[in-house]
Amino acid sequence: MRAVFADYHEKIGQDRPREADNRMTVLSLVFSYAASRGTIKMNPLEGLERLYSADRSEIIWTEADILKFMAGAPVELQRALILAIHTGQRYGDLIRLR
């Protein structure tokens, strides 16, 4: 059974690795619940390796990046950046601010 799920995971993961991992996570939770209730002996997805990994360190703005942006950006964008830095709000939240 594990091989069937691994094949499915790899198939979806060819073009959508994050989606494939999300699907396996949900299935694993269902199997863990069933195993805890005694419905199945074990979770067949336990220990399945993830396909997606993110390293966002390359997109973090340094102080030099911020100074460069502030030197050339319009005042409105400078204010938006200051809000983003100091509040940690996401883009969608910032654009809805009044």
How would residue 28 be classed by pLDDT, with cut points 50, 70 and 90? very high
List the chain domain ranges.
1-54, 56-95
The pLDDT tens digits of the residues spanning 65-75 come to 999 999 999 99
How would residue 16 be classed by pLDDT, with cut points 50, 70 and 90? very high
Of 87, 96, 6, whose CA–CA distance to 44 is shortest?
6
Block residue for tokens 């074990």: 42
**pLDDT exceeding 90 applies to what percent of the chain?**
73
The pLDDT tens digits of the residues spanning 51-63 come to 998 887 778 889 9
Question: Identity (one letter) of the amino acid at 75?
Answer: V
pLDDT at 91: 84
pLDDT at 59: 83
Cα–Cα dist 27/31, whole Å: 6
pTM: 0.58
